[in-house]
Amino acid sequence: MKKIKVLTALCLLLCLGIVGEAPKGYPEQTIRYFKAQQAVFALTTKALQLAVSKYDVKEEGTVEQAKQALKECRLAYKRISFFMEYFFVSEAYVFNTPAKYEVEEPYIEYEEPVGFQQIEALLFSHASKKELMQQADIVAETAAGLPALLYNFKATDAQVMESIQLELIRIQSLYITGYDAPSLQCGIPEAAAAMDALSNVVGIDSIRTAMTKAYAYLAAHPDYNSFDRLTFITDYTMPIQAMLAKQAATHTVRALNTTAIFGSRDPFKKETFTQGADITVDGMGDVLRNGDNSAPKIGYDTALGRRLFSEKKLSGNRQRSCATCHLPEKHFTDGMPQNASLTGGFLPRHTPSLLYSTYQYAQFWDGRAKSLEEQIDAVLHSPTEMGGTDDSIVARMKMPKAEIIRALAAYIRTLTPFNAPFDHYLAGDRSAMSAQQKHGFNIFMGKARCGSCHFAPLFNGLTPPLFNRTEFEILGVPLNSDLQHPVADTDRGRIAVFPLTFYEGAFKTPTVRNAAATAPYMHHGNFSTMQQVIDFYNQGGVSPVMHQTLSSDTLGLSKAEQQALISFLDALVD
């Protein structure tokens, strides 16, 4: 296993000494709290080590003891996670990252899975004691070294306040979905522990009171499947985010983190993302920003882009435009499994919607384009899609190709309506969603595990709380819709872009906003109804493939729960 290197105190002295001014106010209280909770956390990691040392896969009692010890560890970590995930990212990685290979692009470097989520996966797959012990040792060793991180540590009020805001996003978009503990299903108690931690460090009585109420609600409803996530978000966390946004310390340039969120930093508030609808990214997929950290303006003619979107002179045969495959009246899809290829036959993949595509840092199903501009350029020149050439495009349009591409990208960045019943419900119209749709949201975010890949509120693969990383998943979706007689897919996915075995059959997680109106589904359009999609996930996929990231566990959704889920997806149609 590739060794996880823990930063030394000397490195921390050099790196963290430049973070900010001397600790005062929030930093002082936060450091005191962290010191006390870190000691408790370290003890739970030792207890986990002990439980794993007694682990015997043939003795169910020892397996359950190890699972319980892991739960206690995770709860203790959640009391310091807001601090760790913000200030000490390397150490946080050791404790709580997904149980899959994490690839650093474009360098094609990767880390093997490590930490609590990997331990959970090993426990539930009846792994060997040796594998478990190795993970438990890494966690305990890293936990024991946490006090050294505070050597010469400095922070500002603004940084602590931002760490609180980001943790609130994790609570409502990750923890309550079971994202990092899908098998243990202890996400609600963990969210409670995280909320209690925030209430202990925030220094404003009104916010502390609101956090205490949120904690009480979580503590009173610990059951994973029955927890009312929609009520929790609308009645508890959104008001807290609104109060935090009014504090002076939250209106500063981010010192440690860069995120696609602009404005309120409340992901369930419409204005947060619409202010970022004109974001642009560089060749590495990073958000380009103004000097004051605000979102850059589009700066190009969106009206021109709208006209060019339907311009057939951009294609080699003058018969096809962007709107040929992305019809506005069909939510910018074409309603076909695959559209026709200019060279005969059909294109290899299904046409995805362009709505909200600006909120992805990788375009195409395999993510081979890092920006909308790069995607547009590729499509214009593709012999199977538009078949244009630089000479034909410039001669016909009598304008530079770069201007055409920028205008088209600018127009596509405006395709972010946020005008679905779900959005109106969050904005305060409690009549916008039916009781079945509200129940469906709770199924989506809980038992069905949809929300642990299609992260709210964009409902795509942009991972909270920074929303700055596009996720790719290996689902093992068959070429046909007959789940009892599946035909293996031959599309190799992202591995054609980055030749890593961990990308074999990997595809971008699209948004499910407007999915109810944009059948068929999946990257080759093999499922013609939403019920077929749900059936696939409900039974845990089909024949597992190498490095599959989809759990093979059955979800156990009843017919009523499936119907509620479908009803909720109707509430995501603009």
pLDDT tens column, 359-400: 888 999 999 998 899 999 999 999 999 999 999 999 999 999
Q: Which of 228, 217, 191, 236 is nearest to 443 (CA)?
A: 228
Q: Report in angstroms the alpha-carbon separations of 231 from 156, 192, 215, 225, 265.
A: 33, 15, 13, 14, 20
Report the share of the chain in percent with pLDDT over 70: 85
Residue 110 has pLDDT above 90, yes or no: no
Q: Is the dihedral of CA 63, 68, 70, 71 positive or negative?
A: positive
What contacts 80, CB < 8 A, 6 or more positions away? 34, 37, 38, 41, 197
Q: How far is 78 from 191, CA to CA, in rounded Å? A: 8
Contact 369, 378 (CB under 8 A): yes
In this predicted structure, what is the pLDDT of residue 271? 64
Distance CA(50)–CA(279), nearest Å, equals 49
Q: Which domains does the chain have, with CATH numbers?
A: 9-255 (1.20.1420.20), 258-416 (1.10.760.10), 421-570 (1.10.760.10)
Q: How confident is the model at residue 468 (pLDDT cuts 50, 70, 90)?
A: confident
Per-residue pLDDT tens for 84-108? Answer: 999 999 899 999 988 766 666 665 6
Q: Nearest 5°: CA angle at 133, between 131 and 137?
A: 125
Confidence (pLDDT) at 105? 67
Q: Over the stretch 150-178, which tens digit does the pLDDT of each residue have? A: 999 988 888 888 899 899 999 999 999 99
401-412 vs 390-397: helix crossing angle, rounded to 10: 80
State phi, psi for 169 to the nearest 5 degrees: -65, -40
Tokens of 99: 């149980």
Pairing between strand 102-104 and 109-111? antiparallel
Task: Report helix, strand or coil for 470.
Answer: strand
Both tokens of 216, joined, read 């009480």
How many helices (H) does the chain have, and how many strands (E)? 22, 4
Q: Which residue is associated with the tokens 């078949």?
A: 387
Q: Give the DSSP letter string of 89-139.
A: HHHHHHHB--SSPEEETTTTEEE---BHHHHHHHHHTT--HHHHHHHHHHH
How far is it, in rounded angstroms, from Cα 381 to Cα 385?
Answer: 8
Q: Which two tokens stand for residue 73?
A: 């560890």
Q: Which of 427, 417, 459, 428 is nearest to 568 (CA)?
A: 459
* Nearest to 19, CA basis, from 238, 181, 247, 255: 255
In the numeric block, the tokens 């034909």 are attached to 392
Burial label, 234 (beta-carbon count in 10 A; 0-12, 13-18, 19+): middle
| DSSP label of 507 | E
Chain segment 301-340, per-residue pLDDT in tens = 788 999 999 999 999 999 999 999 999 999 999 999 999 9
The 10s digit of each residue's pLDDT in 389-398 is 999 999 999 9
Using alpha carbons only, what angle is made at residue 342 by residues 339 and 343, rounded to the nearest 5 degrees? 115
Residue 491 near residue 505 (C-beta atoms within 8 A):
yes
Residues near 61 by Cβ (< 8 Å), separated by ≥ 6?
none
Q: What is the rounded distance in angstroms from the CA atom of residue 267 to the CA atom of residue 170?
A: 10
